[in-house]
Structure 1
Amino acid sequence: MDRSPSEIPPENLADLAEDHYFGSNPPPKDLDKHVALAREFIDYHSAAGRRLVLVTSGGTTVPLEKQTVRFIDNFSAGTRGATSAEYFLEAGYAVLFLHRQFSLHPFSRHYSHATDCFLDFLREGPEGGVVARDEDASKMLQVLRKYHDARDRNMLLVLPFVSISDYLHELRSIARLMRPLGPRGLLYLAAAVSDFFVPPDRMAEHKIQSTNAVDKKTVTGPRAEEEETFDNFDSSPSVPRSKSLVIDLDPVPKFLKNLVEGWSPQGMIVSFKLETDPSILVHKAKYSLDRYQHHLVIGNLLSTRKWEVVFVSPGRPDRWIRVPFRRNGSDSVAPVPDTQRDEPLDPKSLPDGEPETEIESLIIPAVKDLHCTYIRSVEEKRRA
C-alpha cells in the first residue's frame, strides 16, 4: 500500500528524489568518458596519499527545449572557482576542476576575462613569430610556468558541463569516485547551481515558436501580425503576441544531503551561499549548515563578494575574511581587515574598482586549515 510523503522517513524521501531525478533526466553524452578520466586522476592521487579537491565552477543552464535553442542562465563567469583552483594548487592540492563549458579556467582567466581582446596581449616578434607584448611578458611567463607545472605533474584535471542535469550527473559520479580518498577529499562547491528546471516530460521537443505563423500559413496581409501568438509549453489558450510566455518550472531537488550522507560521506564539503540582502546572509548560511549537516558554508553578498566572505561552520564562531583596503575618504594606509566585525561591510565604504588582493588568496589557506583539522579529527576517531 502506497504511503503519503508525510509518512515516509526524510532519508527515504531523499533517496526517492534522487532515484526519480536521475531516472528521468538523461546523463550527458560524455559522462562515461569524464568518469574514466576522473577515476584515473583520483586513483593516481589517492595512491600518493595526496589531498584532492573537487572545485565546481560557473553557472548551470536550464534548457527550455530538448533540441536546445533557448535556455535560462545566470551571471556567473566562474571567477570564484577558477581563481580558487589556482590557490588550491599553490596549497599542494590536486585539483579536479568541474566547470561550465566556456566559463573561466585556472590560469587562462588572467587573459580570457580581461577587457582587452586576448590578441592585444600579443605582438609579432622580430623573426616573424608571435610574442607577448613587452609590458605583459613577465606576468604571462609566470602564469604559463604555473600552468605547465600543474599539467606536467598531473595536478589539474579539467572537465566541463553545461546544463543543470549535466552538472548533477557529473557531481554525483565524481563524488562517489572520491570515496577512497576518505577525509583527504575536499568538495568545494562554488558553481552557481540553478534552483529550478523544466522536467523532460514537459519540455518542448523543438524550438519554441514566438508566433503561431506555422499554424496559420494561409493568413496574409495586415491581419497576419495581429493573428500571431506565443506558443506555450502547456498548449494553453493563445495569448496576444504582446503578452508573456509562461514557463512552468519545477524546483531542482536539493542533493546536498545525499552528497553528505551517501555520495562522499567522509569527504569535507564546502558550499557557498550568495545573497543580495545583508540582513539574511548569515541566517541563510546557518540554515543551510543545519539542514544538510556538512562542514562549511561560505557566505557572500553580490555587492561585496570580492571584498569579504563569512565562514559559517559547526561549533565555531562566524569568521569574516576581508581584503585589506583604504576606506573611501580616508587618507590612512590600508588597514588590516576587521575580522571581528560581525556584520557585512557597507558597499559605499569600499574603494572604487577591483581589490588589489584576490580574496581567494585568503579563503583557500583558511579552508586548508579547516580541512587539516578535519582530517586529524577523522583519523583520531579511527584510532580511538
Structure 2
Amino acid sequence: MEHQIGGTSESPETEYFDSNPPPNSLHSHSTLARAFITQHAEQNRRVVLVTSGGTTVPLENQTVRFIDNFSAGTRGATSAEYFLSEGYAVIFLHRQYSLLPYSRHYSHNTNCFLDFMKEDESGAVVVGDEYQREMAKVLKQYAAAKKANMLLLLPFTTVNDYLWDLMEIAKLMRPLGPCALFYLAAAVSDFFVPHDRMVEHKIQSSEEFNAAVELDGCERDGRNPAAHIRGTSLIIDLDPVPKFLKLLVDGWAPEGMIVSFKLETDPSMLAKKARYALEKYSHHLVIGNLLMTRKWEVIFVAADGDEHWIRVPRNKRTKSFSGREEFIGLAGGSVGTASALSNANADMNNTTHALGGEPAVEIESLIVPEVAQRHEDHIRAARNRANPPTST
C-alpha cells in the first residue's frame, strides 16, 4: 500500500527514511565504504556485502530498554572468512560486539581468551604451545586480509542504523553492476518503534509515578507513545519494519546478485516460506534453515527453479549446544544425499572437532563456494546480455 504525502504517492519504505533520522555514523561509514569499493572496483575484484548479527529495537530515545534477538553473528562472521578465501573483498556490516571474522575462533569459546595465553620465563605474554599452530594459521589469514585491505568492518546496533547503512552501501555498490553480491545474513527485526512515537527518557516502572511527573514530549504532542506503563504492565505497540528487499532489487542495486536467508522453526513451513519470499521480492536466492539444524543443513531455493539441500555429513558436524540432530531431514530432502564437500574446504581453521576425531566441517564452507559459483553464472549471464555473441 502507498500513502499520499503532500499530494505525492510515497511507499512505506520511502516514508520510513523521511520519518526516521539517519544515525550519526552514516557519514563516516559512507566515506569508508566508498573508498573501499572504489579500490576494489579499480582492481576488478568482486565485492560482497555480508550483513551479520541481530538488530535492536530501542524503546526510548535515550535508550535504556530495548528489544533484541539471540543472533551472535556466527553465520555472517564465518561466511565472511570463506568469501575472503574465494577472493572477494568483504564489507562486513555487523552488529556491534557480535562475532567478527577470524577473532570468532577465540571470542566465541567456552574458555576465556586469556586461557590461550601464558607468561614465558622472561615475563613476555605468548600463546600457549598447544594453540600455536591453529592460532598462527588464523593470524596469517587475518593479516593477509588486512594488508590487502580486503575486509571492511562497519558496526550497527539498531534496526534504524542497519537500514540506513544498507541503503547507503547498496547505492555505493551500484556501479559494480553484476559484480556486486549481497549476502544478507543479519537477523533484522520485523517490528520497530517509529521515531515520532518513541519517548525521550527511560520508561518508569510505576504508573503512579508517571502520572505525577511532567509528560514526555511524545505525549504532550497528543501522540500515543509506543511503549508505556499501564497498571503494572509494560505495553508495547510496535509498527512493522517495511520490507526493503524489493527496493534493493529494483532500485538500490538492480544488477547485483542478492541472497537472503529464511529462518523457521516449523519444518513443514521452511521450503514454502523460502519460495514465497523469492517470488515476492524477485531476487536470486533464498537460503533457508531451521533453528535446530542451522549448523548442519540448509536449503537453497533459487530463482531458476532449483531447490536442493546442503548437509554436512554426520561424522563431520560441528558441535551445537542448541541443535537437535533428530530434526535433520524433517523439512525435506534425502538425508542420505549429503552435499559433496567441494574442495572440502577442509582448510578448517575452527577448533571444534566432530565425532571420532574427524575435522569438523562448518556448513558455511559448503554454502559460500556454491554462492560464489552462482554469482559467477550471474555475472556471465549479465555480460552476455550486454554483449550478445554474434552469429557466424
TM > 0.5 between the two? yes
How many equivalent pairs are there?
A: 346
Confirm or deny that 1:367 pairs with 2:335.
no
The residue number in structure 1 matching 2:304 is 315
Distance 2:229 2:50 in 1: 45
How much does 1:33 deviate?
Answer: 0.5
Report matched runs for 1:1-384 at 5 Å. 5=1, 16-212=11-207, 214=209, 233=225, 238-239=230-231, 241=232, 244-326=233-315, 342-343=332-333, 356-384=360-388
Distance 1:210 1:7, change over 3 A: closer
Q: Deviations over 1:292-314 (max 9, x none)?
A: 00000000000000000000001
How much does 1:352 deviate?
Answer: 8.7
Contact 1:183 / 1:266 at 8 angstroms: preserved in 2? yes
TM-score normalized by the length of structure 2: 0.83
Distance 2:299 2:143 in 1: 33
Larger mean Cα displacement after TM superposition, 310-319 or 247-256: 310-319
How much does 1:358 deviate?
Answer: 0.3
Q: Structure 2: which 5+ runs fail to align?
A: 214-223, 318-327, 337-353
Distance 1:237 1:194, change over 3 A: closer
SS in 2 for 1:178: helix
Distance 1:278 1:344, change over 3 A: farther
How much does 1:343 deviate?
Answer: 3.3
Distance 1:358 1:269 in 2: 22
Q: Deviations over 1:313-343 (max 9, x none)?
A: 0123211001011499xxxxxxxxx99x943
Contact 1:311 / 1:320 at 8 angstroms: preserved in 2? yes
Larger mean Cα displacement after TM superposition, 17-26 or 28-37: 17-26
SS in 1 for 2:155: strand
Q: Deviations over 1:262-313 (max 9, x none)?
A: 0001000000000000000000000000000000000000000000000000
Contact 2:61 / 2:200 at 8 angstroms: preserved in 1? yes
Distance 1:146 1:238 in 2: 54
Contact 1:188 / 1:269 at 8 angstroms: preserved in 2? yes
SS in 2 for 1:246: strand
SS in 1 for 2:11: helix
Q: Deviations over 1:58-99 (max 9, x none)?
A: 000000000000100000000000000000000110000000
Q: Structure 1 residue runs of 4+, over 3 Å off?
A: 5-8, 212-218, 232-238, 341-346, 351-355
Distance 1:113 1:59 in 2: 16
Q: Deviations over 1:185-230 (max 9, x none)?
A: 1000000000000111111110011114645889xxxxxxxxxxxx
SS in 1 for 2:289: strand
SS in 1 for 2:38: helix
Contact 1:68 / 1:206 at 8 angstroms: preserved in 2? yes
Distance 1:6 1:155 in 2: 40
How much does 1:168 deviate?
Answer: 0.2
Opposite residue 368 of structure 1, the aligned amino acid is A
Distance 2:73 2:311 in 1: 20
SS in 2 for 1:370: helix
Distance 1:90 1:234, change over 3 A: closer
Contact 1:304 / 1:345 at 8 angstroms: preserved in 2? no
Contact 1:307 / 1:355 at 8 angstroms: preserved in 2? no
Distance 1:235 1:160 in 2: 26
Matched residues, percent identical?
A: 59
Opposite residue 98 of structure 1, the aligned amino acid is L
Opposite residue 166 of structure 1, the aligned amino acid is D
Largest Rg, 1 or 2: 1
Distance 1:102 1:379 in 2: 40
Distance 1:154 1:343, change over 3 A: same
SS in 1 for 2:283: coil
Contact 2:198 / 2:226 at 8 angstroms: preserved in 1? no
Contact 2:226 / 2:238 at 8 angstroms: preserved in 1? no
How much does 1:20 deviate?
Answer: 1.0
SS in 2 for 1:84: helix
SS in 2 for 1:35: helix
Distance 1:76 1:149 in 2: 28
TM-score normalized by the length of structure 1: 0.84
Contact 1:306 / 1:355 at 8 angstroms: preserved in 2? no
